[in-house]
Amino acid sequence: MPDPRFDVPLCGLDVDDETRCRHYRTERDVVAMRFACCDTFYPCHACHEACADHDVERWPADRFDDPAVLCGVCRETLSVTAYLDADHACPHCGVAFNPGCAAHADRYFAVE
């Protein structure tokens, strides 16, 4: 069931007010990704695996300009392109994003 604290459909395990979850809880873990398979935002791939009843479908490259990343601090939704180009900070509020997420962007987005 989506979390009523957010204006977008967001699910996950032990999600706080800034989208940190049971799996990722550092100060910089403040994004949630929208999955193409269910059109729902999750703080991480492990939350999707635990909460969804289907396999992951990554966000397709031809939709990288659509809103698919939620900043948990200011609640702005970013396109994948804006998120990947943001240099690990929200372009709207400036909060730092976890740079380690770049190492597994392929779990969320159809990147080569």
Could you tell me the residue ranges of all domains in the chain?
A: 1-112
* Residue found by looking up tokens 């490259």 in the block: 61
Cα distances (angstroms) measured from residue 20 to each of 29, 60, 61: 6, 24, 26
Residue 36 confidence (pLDDT): 97
CA atoms of 60 and 108, how far apart (whole Å):
9
Angstrom distance (rounded) from CA 10 to CA 23: 15
User: What is the strand order of the sheet 31-35 is part of?
Assistant: 40-42, 31-35, 67-71, 77-79
Share of the chain above pLDDT 70, in %: 100
3-state secondary structure at position 79: strand
pLDDT at 112 > cutoff 80: no
19 has pLDDT over 90 = yes
C-alpha to C-alpha distances, 49 to 36, 42, 52, 103, 108, nearest whole angstrom: 14, 10, 6, 19, 12
Please tell me the distance from the alpha carbon of residue 49 to that of residue 106, in angstroms, as a whole number: 15
Q: Could you tell me the pTM of the whole model?
A: 0.95
Tens digit of each residue's pLDDT (9 = 90 or more) over 38-57: 999 999 999 999 999 999 99
pLDDT at residue 71 above 80? yes
Q: Which residue has the tokens 């398979």?
A: 37
